[in-house]
Amino acid sequence: MSSKLPHQWPDGFLWGTGASSIQTEGAPLSSDWWRWERNGNAPLSGTGNGFATHYKSDFAALQQLGLTHHRLSIEWARIEPERGKYDLRAVEHYKSMLTAARDIGISPWVCLHHFSLPQWFADEGGFLNRDNLHRYWSRHVEFMAQTFGDLVYGWKPVNETNYYPMAAYKGRGWPPGIDDFETWMTAVENMQIASAEAAIRLKQIGKPVSSVFGLSTVELVDTLPSSKTFQDFVYAVNWDSGLDLFRDGEIHLPGREPVYRPDLAGSFDIIGFSYYCALGVKDGQLVRFPENAPMSQLEYSIWPDGLSLVLERLHNELPTTPLLIAEYGIGTEDDEQRAQYLADGLRITADAIGRGIDVRGFFHWTSVDNYEWLHG
């Protein structure tokens, strides 16, 4: 690798990895993803990558690499497989997992929702029904706070609040398999609200709370008015829906009535995000960007420089807010390519810090190769 890395990083910089329950433990039969797999809509996840039984050795390996933090998700469907009925063995399993991380020197961050739902919650409408935020989600957040709050280092309540609605409700192949514009927009609003409401409650424990927005810059490839209009739309949905709620307590989605929630302004301690690729707009629709860049096995352009653009844009929009790279990585079987991509990301992060951008940590996705939702 040709990239040179800095000899020093800020004191207290968070070096970590991230993973999700379904991808590392497999889908429990009480989850909507389990039914989705059995209906032939996704590859079988099995036991994921075996983390449920290997977590102690995995944490030991991370500690030996010099990492100090790890984000995992606690699968709602495992701990509450039926509405109002908790699986105490599953609860103890996750407590043991968090304790093992702490004992070996890995500080655990916990995510409450990483794309999958309990089937019973999905049957009630999931996050599409805003009443469910008060009826079920807030109860779940409270249970998580009281049950695991003493064991976590920090919280990342909802993973990629802007991506899940598109994948589930705009025809991207996730349960419940809906492809409808207004349903998608409703899901975007409700997921941003759910994440911010959870953050407000979890902050009361006194542990740091970070968002995880899935962010890409959106670059114009041509000068067509339709392309500029679509670029503005993508930014409004993918960026502004979460950032405006954090900064101003408002959501303004195109063609919809504004949502005013001033009580949710400032909900997070840190604005965290994932970066995997940039997006382009050509002829009024999304394309890979850069179009001539190498393509990953997950069919997006391999372009680490986009991380710099995301950091710069976030810093300009939220100049006094600390930032966290909550996910950065590449889906590939080529270890040399993976190592170079990681080195490039670290170089870009160091450069951003040198320019005065307050980046608090870097979490690599992922710790151990895992199940990939639609690819196995």
Question: What mean pLDDT do residues 156-176 have?
Answer: 97
CB-based contacts of 148, cutoff 8 Å, min separation 6: 74, 94, 95, 98, 110
Q: Are residues 173 and 167 in contact, defined by beta-carbon separation less than 8 angstroms?
A: yes
| The pLDDT of residue 4 | 58
CA distance 183 to 201: 27
- pLDDT value at 127 more than 90: yes
CA distance 197 to 133: 9
Tokens 């003493």 identify what position? 150
- pLDDT value at 46 more than 50: yes
What pairing do the DSSP bridges indicate for beta strands 69-73 and 14-18? Answer: parallel
- pLDDT value at 365 more than 50: yes
In terms of Cβ atoms closer than 10 Å to its own Cβ (0-12, 13-18, 19+), residue 8 is exposed
Number of CB atoms found within 10 A of residue 182's CB: 10
Give the tens place of pLDDT for each residue, 303-354: 999 999 999 999 999 999 999 999 999 999 999 999 999 999 999 999 999 9
| The pLDDT of residue 321 | 99
Band of residue 14 on the pLDDT scale cut at 50, 70, 90: very high
CA distance 246 to 270: 10
Tell me 126's DSSP state.
Answer: G
- pLDDT value at 168 more than 60: yes
CA distance 260 to 307: 31
Distance from chain centroid for Cα 169: 17
| The pLDDT of residue 7 | 57
DSSP 251-320: E--TTS--EE-GGGTT--SBEEEEE--EEEEETTEEEEESTTS-B-TTSSB--THHHHHHHHHHHHHSTT
Give the tens place of pLDDT for each residue, 180-227: 999 999 999 999 999 999 999 999 999 999 999 999 999 999 999 999
Fold that domain 14-365 belongs to in CATH: TIM Barrel (3.20.20)
Question: What mean pLDDT do residues 264-279 have?
Answer: 98
Band of residue 1 on the pLDDT scale cut at 50, 70, 90: very low
CB-based contacts of 66, cutoff 8 Å, min separation 6: 15
CA distance 120 to 32: 8
The domain ranges of the chain are: 14-365
Q: Are residues 271 and 318 in contact, defined by beta-carbon separation less than 8 angstroms?
A: yes
- pLDDT value at 2 more than 50: no
Angle at 213 between CA 5 and CA 14, to 5 degrees: 35
Question: What mean pLDDT do residues 251-260 have?
Answer: 98
Q: Are residues 340 and 48 in contact, defined by beta-carbon separation less than 8 angstroms?
A: no
- pLDDT value at 6 more than 80: no
| The pLDDT of residue 8 | 80
Q: Are residues 13 and 346 in contact, defined by beta-carbon separation less than 8 angstroms?
A: no
Average pLDDT, the chain: 97
Kindly give the residue spans of alpha helices, DSSP state H, lying in the chain: 21-25, 32-38, 51-64, 76-79, 88-104, 119-123, 131-132, 138-148, 163-169, 181-203, 225-235, 241-248, 305-317, 335-354
3-state secondary structure of 201: helix
What are phi and psi for residue 294, nearest 5 degrees? -60, 150
* Closest alpha carbon to 304 in 325, 332, 276: 276
Cα dihedral across residues 15, 19, 21, 25: positive or negative: negative
Tokens of 302: 């391999």
What is the percent of the chain with per-residue pLDDT over 90, rounded to a whole number? 96
